[in-house]
């Protein structure tokens, strides 16, 4: 597994240690058991926090973290993707914790300290059924005030919602300002419909009917903080996809070298060599763009969003090329549950659709490029 970015000694040790730990504790043979229920991942989650201390890798040391940044998220996500681990790292440690960091405040700091030790799993619930991929189309609303604040509305499929300890829900207050409400999943007025997603992982549709709000997080308009959290999550999902693709390409290469047709290995056929070369080039382009986009995370919002969307286009195209190629070169066995290739293909399909497919990201690039030209 070639790292997605240039690592220092500490980062190399972290990623390599994680890869070895995953080989020992989360082999492919255990994947079905880890997907059996939202709670099945709990022992592995404790291992990531207590044995490896990785849930706080990108959190400040003052909050019990290790003082890292997004680079650590990318390296961890790549290793998790290579292992095909069905856990909520991106939803909780990247998206949820990233939003809390952006919002700030004492309540957010308390939650972040819990993220580092594995006790708190915050999940962002931002998209609504009628909004498609638009974070600004929010009909969920807040009523009341103070301790009597109530939330009403619905949220579309929220990844990892069933295993969350806290939901970070976007909603509009009486003035129409977008805020983030901290909600207890067990609160009155909550309805939740758990769903198995395309790759077997868990999500849920959420409903709120005058649900009590624990607290409002941050001050003023929360849209910039939400967009930032979504952007870093998309970039981390790209790193995860790179890890998945590296595994699929390696396993496909091994297969075509061993499998024989007409008495010779499949790898000797030129047409298959060309197909494998195309898969390799698509993967390398996605790997390079995701790593390069790391430098744009602290840029102005429009520039950051354009860079992330561009990287997502490359990732989505590579995921299609590598995923479909791996399945096709394995023949009918490619989609069986016995081989990891089919599982990787399904995971790539889900990542490809995170916040929209290629068309959505291309429109984002075009819109933000036009705005940049006007400036």
Instruction: List CB contacts of 180: < 8 A, sequence separation 6 or more.
Output: 99, 103, 168, 169, 170, 171, 216, 217, 218, 222, 225, 226
Residues 255-274, mean pLDDT to the nearest whole number: 83
Q: What residue ranges define each of the domains in the chain, with the CATH number in brackets?
A: 9-116 (1.10.540.10), 122-217 (2.40.110.10), 223-374 (1.20.140.10)
Find the Cα–Cα–Cα–Cα dihedral 176, 177, 180, 184, rounded to 10°. -30
* C-alpha distance across the termini of the chain, in Å: 41
**Residue with the two structure tokens 């909004």:** 131
User: Which of 51, 122, 65, 117 minimizes the C-alpha distance to 93?
Assistant: 122
pLDDT tens, residue by residue, 15-41? 999 999 999 998 988 888 888 888 888
CA distance 67 to 105: 19
Per-residue confidence band for 242, with pLDDT thresholds at 50, 70 and 90: very high
> Which of 139-172 are b and which e, b meaning 16 or more Cβ less than 10 Å from the residue's Cβ?
ebebeeeeeebbbbbbbbebbbbbbbbbbbbbbe
> Which spans in the chain are helix H?
9-25, 31-34, 42-46, 70-82, 89, 97-103, 106-116, 223-258, 270-293, 301-329, 340-352, 358-374
pLDDT, tens only, 136-191: 999 999 998 877 899 999 999 999 999 999 999 999 999 999 999 999 999 999 99
HSE-up (13 A, CA, CB side) for residue 232: 31
What is the three-class DSSP state of 1?
A: coil
Q: Give the DSSP letter of residue 92.
A: I
- The DSSP call for residue 94 is I
Residue 374 has pLDDT above 80, yes or no: no
| Pairwise CA distance, residues 355 & 229, whole Å | 12
Confidence of residue 372 (pLDDT cuts 50, 70, 90): low
């Amino acid at each position: 597994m070639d790292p997605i970015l240039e690592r220092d000694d500490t980062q190399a040790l972290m990623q390599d240690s994680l890869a070895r730990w995953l080989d020992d504790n989360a082999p492919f043979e255990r994947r079905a058991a880890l997907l059996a229920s939202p709670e099945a991942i709990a022992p592995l989650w404790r291992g990531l926090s207590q044995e490896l201390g990785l849930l706080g890798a990108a959190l400040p040391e003052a909050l019990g973290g290790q003082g890292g940044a997004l680079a650590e998220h990318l390296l961890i996500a790549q290793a998790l993707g290579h292992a095909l681990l069905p856990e909520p790292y991106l939803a909780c440690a990247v998206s949820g914790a990233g939003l809390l960091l952006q919002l700030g405040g004492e309540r957010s700091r308390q939650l972040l300290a819990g993220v580092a030790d594995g006790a708190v799993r915050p999940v962002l619930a931002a998209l609504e059924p009628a909004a498609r991929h638009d974070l600004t189309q929010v009909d969920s609303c807040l009523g009341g005030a103070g301790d009597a604040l109530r939330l009403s509305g619905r949220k579309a499929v929220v990844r990892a919602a069933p295993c969350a300890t806290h939901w970070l829900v976007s909603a509009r207050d009486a003035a129409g300002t977008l805020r983030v409400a901290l909600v207890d999943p067990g609160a009155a007025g909550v309805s939740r419909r758990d769903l198995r997603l395309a790759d077997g992982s868990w999500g849920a549709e959420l409903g709120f009917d005058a649900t009590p709000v624990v607290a409002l997080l941050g001050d003023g308009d929360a849209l910039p903080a939400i967009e930032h959290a979504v952007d870093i999550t998309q970039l981390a999902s790209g790193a995860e996809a790179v890890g998945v693709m590296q595994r699929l390409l390696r396993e496909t290469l091994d297969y075509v070298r061993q499998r024989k047709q007409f008495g010779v290995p499949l790898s000797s056929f030129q047409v298959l060599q060309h197909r494998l070369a195309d898969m390799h080039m698509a993967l390398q382009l996605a790997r390079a763009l995701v790593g390069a986009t790391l430098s744009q995370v602290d840029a102005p919002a429009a520039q950051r969003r354009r860079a992330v969307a561009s990287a997502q286009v490359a990732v989505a195209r590579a995921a299609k090329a590598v995923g479909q190629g791996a399945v096709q070169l394995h023949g009918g066995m490619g989609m069986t549950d016995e081989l990891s290739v089919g599982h990787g293909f399904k995971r790539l399909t889900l990542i490809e659709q995170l916040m929209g497919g290629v068309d959505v990201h291309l429109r984002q690039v075009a819109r933000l490029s036009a705005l940049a030209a006007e400036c």
